Structure 1
Amino acid sequence: MENRAESASLYFKSGSSDKVYHASIESAEGGFVVTYAYGRRGATLSTGTKTKAPVDHATARRIFEKLVSDKRSKGYTDGDTGTPYLHSDKAGRVSGLLPQLLNVIDEREAARVVADPQWVMQEKFDGRRLMLRKIGAVVEGVNKLGLVVSLSAPIAAAALDLPGDFVLDGEVIGDRFHVFDLLSRDGTDLREQAYSDRYGALAALIGSVSPSARIGAVDCWTSAFDKADRLNALRARNAEGVVFKRWDAPYRQGRPNSGGTQLKLKFVTTVSAVVTTINQQRSVGVSLLNGEDWQAVGNVTVPANQNVPQLGDVVEVRYLYAGLVGGALYQPVLLGVRDDVEPAECVVAQLKLKAS
Structure 2
Amino acid sequence: MTSEHITLYFKQGGSDKVYNASLEEVKDNRFVVNFAYGRRGATLTTGTKTNTPLDYDSAKKIYAKLVKSKTSKGYVPGAEGPQYVHTDADTRDTGVQCQLLNFIEEAEAERLIKAPDWWAQEKYDGKRMLLRKTETVTAINRQGLSVDAPDAIITSAGSIDQSYLVDGEAVGDTLFVFDLLAIDGTDLRSAPYGQRLAQLEILGFGEAVVVAETAKTPREKQQFYDRLRASGAEGIVFKQHVAPYTTGRPNSGGTQVKFKFYATASVVVTQINAKRSVAVAVLDGEQSIEIGNVTIPPNKDIPAVNAIIEVRYLYAYPGGSLYQPTYLGPRDDLHVQDCVIAQLKYKS
Structure 2: runs of 5 or more not aligned: 1-23, 33-49, 60-83
Output the amino acid matched with 1:113: L
Quick one: structure 1 residues 224 and 74, their matched pair in 2 at CA, closer, same or farther if it must change by over 3 Å?
Answer: farther
2:115 aligns to what? 116
Task: Give the TM-score of the pair, scaled to structure 1.
Answer: 0.73
The aligned residue for residue 131 of structure 2 is 132
Contact persistence 1:287–1:298 (CA under 8 A): yes
Distance 1:160 1:256 in 2: 33
Number of the residue aligned with 2:274: 280
Structure 1 residues 342, 73: closer, same or farther in 2, change over 3 A?
Answer: farther
Give 2:324's aligned residue: 331
- TM, length-normalised to structure 2: 0.75
CA-CA distance at 1:345 after TM superposition: 2.1
Q: Secondary structure at the match of 2:158?
A: helix
User: What are the within-5 Å matches in structure 2 for residues 183-198 of structure 1?
Assistant: 183-198=181-196
Q: Unaligned stretches of 5+ in structure 1?
A: 1-24, 34-49, 60-69, 76-83, 86-92
Find the partner of 1:242 among 211, 236, 240: 236
- Of residues 150, 153, 170, the one that matches 1:155 is 153
Measured after TM superposition, the shift of residue 292 of structure 1 is 2.7
The residue aligned with 1:78 is none
Q: Which amino acid aligns with 1:261?
A: T
1:74 and 1:231 mapped to 2: Cα distance?
41
Per the alignment, residue 345 of structure 1 pairs with 338
CA shift, 1:324, in A, is: 2.6
Q: CA deviation at 1:145?
A: 0.7
Secondary structure in structure 1 of the residue aligned to 2:200 = helix
Q: Which of 208, 219, 224 in structure 2 is aligned with 1:225?
A: 219
Matched position secondary structure for 2:228? helix
Deviations 1:3-30, CA, capped at 9 Å, x for gaps = xxxxxxxxxxxxxxxxxxxxxx999547
Give the drift of 1:74. Answer: 6.3
Q: Does 1:101 align with 2:94?
A: no
- Offset of residue 266 of structure 1: 0.7
Question: Is the 1:29–1:54 Cα contact (8 Å) retained in structure 2?
Answer: no
Contact 1:28 1:54 in 2 (8 A): no
Instruction: Give the secondary-structure state (helix, strand or coil) at the position aligned to 2:165.
Output: strand
Q: How far did residue 32 of structure 1 move?
A: 9.8
Aligned residues: 281
CA–CA separation in structure 2 for the residues paired with 1:165 and 1:228: 36
Is the partner of 1:179 in helix, strand or coil? strand
CA contact (8 A) 2:271 2:305 kept: yes
% identical equivalent positions:
43
Runs of 4+ in 1 over 4 A off after TM superposition: 25-33, 50-56
CA distance in 1, matches of 2:107, 2:96: 33
Instruction: Give the 3 Å change call, closer, same or farther, for CA 51–330 of structure 1 in structure 2.
Output: closer
1:143 aligns with 2:141: yes
1:180 is aligned to 178
Query: Aligned letter for 1:173?
Result: V
Question: Does the residue aligned with 2:302 lie in a helix, a strand or coil?
Answer: coil
Alpha-carbon offset, residue 259 of structure 1: 0.8
- How far apart, in 1, do the equivalents of 2:125 and 2:160 lie? 25
The Cα shift of 1:304 comes to 3.2
Cα deviations by residue, 1:107-156 (Å, 9 ceiling, x for unpaired): 121122111111100111111111011112x1121111111111111111
1:295 correspondence with 2:286: no
Once the 2 structures are TM-superposed, how far is the Cα of residue 52 of structure 1 from its aligned partner?
5.2
| Distance (Å, rounded) in 2 between the aligned partners of 1:27 and 1:156 | 41
- Cα distance between partner residues in 1 of 2:329 and 2:87: 19
Say if 1:206 and 1:216, in contact at 8 Å, map to a contact too. Answer: no
1:251-299 Cα shifts (integer Å, max 9, x gaps): 0110000111100011011111100111222221111123333222111
Amino acid across the alignment from 2:219: F
Instruction: Return the alpha-carbon distance in structure 2 between the equivalents of residues 330 and 287 of structure 1.
Output: 14
- Residues 157 and 27 from structure 1, CA distance in 2 versus in 1: closer, same or farther, beyond 3 angstroms? closer
Distance in 1 between residues matched to 2:87 and 2:306, nearest whole Å: 16
C-alpha distance in 2 between matches for 1:302 and 1:51: 12
Q: Which residue of 1 aligns with 2:44?
A: none
Is 1:74–1:147's contact at 8 Å kept on the other side of the alignment?
Answer: no
Higher relative contact order (CA 8 A, sep 6+): 2
- Which amino acid counterpart does residue 303 of structure 2 have in structure 1? P
